[in-house]
Amino acid sequence: MPRSVTHRVLTLLLVIGIVTSVLAQTGQWVDLGSTRVYGKNDHDTIQVRNQGTFRTIQIRVRGNAGVHFSLIVVCYGNGQREQIKVRDVVQGGSSSCVIDLPGARRVIDKIDFLYDKANWGIPPTVTIAGLR
């Protein structure tokens, strides 16, 4: 094979490797579970349906009301628990910032979250999304 063809093939393989690596790092957002939150309570739990491994999560709120979150507790498949202070109001139709989970990607069993009591006419729905 001539030198210029070999050089082009190697360059193409290098570009393919870089693109594949970048795409693998971007990940995919997955719906981990949802629940309606009622203002009479101050906490709820989402049992995670997807048994993949995740490195970051995001809180999403649907409905007309904002929810003031104070703390989330991520319970992993191996029994470990991670407390994460949120202290953020997530308005209806929006999302929290991306919340990085420490360590490597792990299976999430459930997520407990604490929020301020409120009198919402129609209870908002909270969804937790996870990034693979």
Q: What is the pLDDT of residue 50?
A: 82
Rounded average pLDDT per 10-residue block, the chain, 132 residues: 62 47 64 93 92 94 95 95 94 96 94 93 95 92
> What's the rounded Cα separation, in Å, for the pair 129 and 72?
13
**Cα(44)–Cα(92) distance, rounded to whole angstroms?**
17
pTM exceeds 0.75: yes
Q: How many helices (H) and strands (E) would you count in the chain?
A: 1, 10
Angle at alpha carbon of residue 38, lines to 106 and 32, rounded to 5°? 20
pLDDT score of 75 = 97
What is the CB-side half-sphere exposure of residue 103 using CA atoms within 13 A? 11
* SS3 state at 10: helix
What is residue 5's predicted lDDT score, i.e. its pLDDT? 61
Phi and psi of 8, rounded to 5°? -65, -40
The pLDDT score that the predictor gives to residue 2 is 66
Q: What is the pLDDT of residue 80?
A: 95
Q: 88-113 in b/e burial notation, b at 16+ Cβ within 10 A?
A: eebebeeebeebebeeeebebbbbeb
Architecture of domain 27-131: Sandwich (2.60)
